[in-house]
Structure 1
Amino acid sequence: MADEETPRERYVRPLSAESRGEAPGRGRLKGRKILIVGGGQRVVDAATDPIGNGRAMSVLFAREGASVAVADINKASAEETTATIAREGGKASVITADMAKPDDITRMIAEAEKALGGLDGMVLNVGIGVGALGLAGANADDWDKALAVNLRGPMLACKEALPKLAEGSSIIFISSIAGLVAGSRLPSYDASKAALGGLMRHVALEGARRGIRANIIAPGLVDTPLGRLATQGRPSRGRSPTPFGRQATGWEIAYAALFFMSDEAVYVNAQILAVDSGMTGIS
């Protein structure tokens, strides 16, 4: 009788320099002018909070040579992001805007274009989850609040920005694997993130006339302040198994966005990239 196979320890993907945000810039966005909506981040525990997706993208894009406009509903948080960029010698400006308010969105695009001297990239990193869990906990007000920020806001931002974006620009929507598979248990969140796919494909269709690309990044479980807050409300989230044995870092999401924003992805359009270590493909 053959010996039983010894169980293997669970694999944990080591953190690279990119995973930790320690890799040097390589000039991949030199001269670019990019608006990052949602470039601040929540504070759960200021002493231990990891970097969030929006701040990581803002810092990384500036590190790679772009001038960035950091927009957020929280001015102080956006200023903290730009201060980090300034300490590294980068260029950044702050815009305060609420994506639930159409007038704020119109002003945000105009201010970004003026501050940067033009626009050739935009990241829409916005999303809220509201209400109790499940359909039984959903109501019309929470549904409308979620879709106003998660779907209507990006639509209005694209409507305002498309005529102003330079030829060959790139638009990135930050969605979630909750838009691909059920999981968040917040119907409005799942539905809004799934609907981003339809919006993205329409923006790609209109943008293609001038070489403007639109794509989606769908993060899986990411260790960010917002992710930790979500885990506090739904502890089972933190116990979800991942193929690489750990959650992603905000920097790992940022590097996926860097690819989409750069000319390395010049022929990639209307696509959804799940950055989830394979959760949606092999789990």
Structure 2
Amino acid sequence: MSETAAPAEKERYVRPLSSESRGDAPARGRLKGRRILVVGGGQRVVDAATDPIGNGRAMSVLFAREGALVAVADVNLASAEATVTKIGIDGGKGVAIEADIAKPDQIARMIGEAEAKLGGLDGLVLNVGIGVGPLGLQGANADDWDKALAVNLRGPMLCCKEALPKLAEGSSIVFISSIAGMVAGSRLPSYDASKAALGGLMRHVALEGARRGIRANIVAPGLVDTPLGRLATQGRPSRGASPTPFGRQATGWEIAYAALFFMSDESVYVNAQTLAVDSGITGIS
């Protein structure tokens, strides 16, 4: 009896990188004349020689490329300035602002400075989030919980409270959350809980903002190849091995294009919604 060879296993599909995925698609003027504050527009440095672009920097550069004046706020001023330099090299215009939104007294200054430097505000992106403490509920403690919620939830709330009266009619607010707010996975209860609660905050901001045509929506990234993501993988190697429907992690540019949709008039009738940018992890996995 002859033996029959087992069929070769089909190679896993890997979604190719488009020009948008790489951040080299041509601009189309989608934000011409807009004045946008990106909170968290710098990025962590893990390996300066190999770091990919982070979500906040990609959004800042992309918005400016599409015609917006951009204020880049970050707890690390040098990082915010590096983003502004990249904006300038790319032909856009931006200003850097130092601010720590875990400190309430710095939020009003940040919003006021952005409004003054840009000549008004038409858009606000809240790209902030930290995960602190040991993994699991048994490793959680009150101090780490308070630190995470101060940045991930209280900070965005205070930013919206301060910015909403100053935003022009028809403006857009985009919260950068995480699919950790939709499905369990980060193993950091404070992070998961704060990102889930961000949905409630977003819906309330959308409710109040609707009176003046101000929209609020969430972009919820899945696994993204950013410096912060690589740092997270160092602490939890299983993250890097997690399967995704498209066979790879997202790029920071792919998150930026989702935010661009919400910031532009292409989404003018979309309000109080959450868009998961995760290749389908939350829907089909």
Query: Quick check: 1:260 aligned with 2:244?
Result: no
Give the match for residue 86 of structure 1: 88
2: CA distance, partners of 1:86 / 1:232: 32
Moved over 4 A (4+): 2-6
Give the match for residue 50 of structure 1: 52
What is the total number of aligned residue pairs between the two structures? 282
2: CA distance, partners of 1:181 / 1:204: 23
Q: Deviations over 1:170-189 (max 9, x none)?
A: 00000000000000000000
1: CA distance, partners of 2:127 / 2:235: 21
1: CA distance, partners of 2:6 / 2:272: 48
CA shift, 1:24, in A, is 1.3
Alignment of 1:178-217 (within 5 A): 178-217=180-219
CA shift, 1:7, in A, is 2.5
Query: Quick check: 1:106 aligned with 2:90?
Result: no
2: CA distance, partners of 1:5 / 1:243: 22
Aligned partner of 2:277 among 258, 271, 275: 275
Give the match for residue 22 of structure 1: 24
Taking only aligned residues, the RMSD between alpha carbons, in angstroms, comes to 1.1
Q: Deviations over 1:229-283 (max 9, x none)?
A: 0000000000000000000000000000000000000000000000000000001
Give the match for residue 15 of structure 2: 13
TM-score after normalising by structure 2: 0.98
CA shift, 1:87, in A, is 1.1
- Report SS of the residue matched to 1:18: helix
Return 5+ residue gaps in structure 1 as ranges: none
2: CA distance, partners of 1:233 / 1:7: 32
Give the match for residue 145 of structure 1: 147
- Report SS of the residue matched to 2:217: strand
- Report SS of the residue matched to 2:19: coil
CA shift, 1:40, in A, is 0.1
Aligned partner of 1:60 among 59, 62, 68: 62
1: CA distance, partners of 2:20 / 2:152: 28
1: CA distance, partners of 2:84 / 2:90: 10
Aligned partner of 1:240 among 242, 259, 263: 242
One-letter amino acid of the structure 1 residue matched with residue 125 of structure 2: V
Moved more, 80-89 or 50-59: 80-89
1: CA distance, partners of 2:90 / 2:130: 30
2: CA distance, partners of 1:209 / 1:178: 31
Q: Deviations over 1:24-49 (max 9, x none)?
A: 11100000000000000000000000
- Report SS of the residue matched to 1:244: coil
- Report SS of the residue matched to 2:124: strand
One-letter amino acid of the structure 2 residue matched with residue 137 of structure 1: G
CA shift, 1:88, in A, is 1.7
- Report SS of the residue matched to 2:283: helix
Give the match for residue 77 of structure 1: 79
TM-score after normalising by structure 1: 0.98
Q: Deviations over 1:57-103 (max 9, x none)?
A: 00000000000000000000000000001112211001100010001
Return 5+ residue gaps in structure 2 as ranges: none
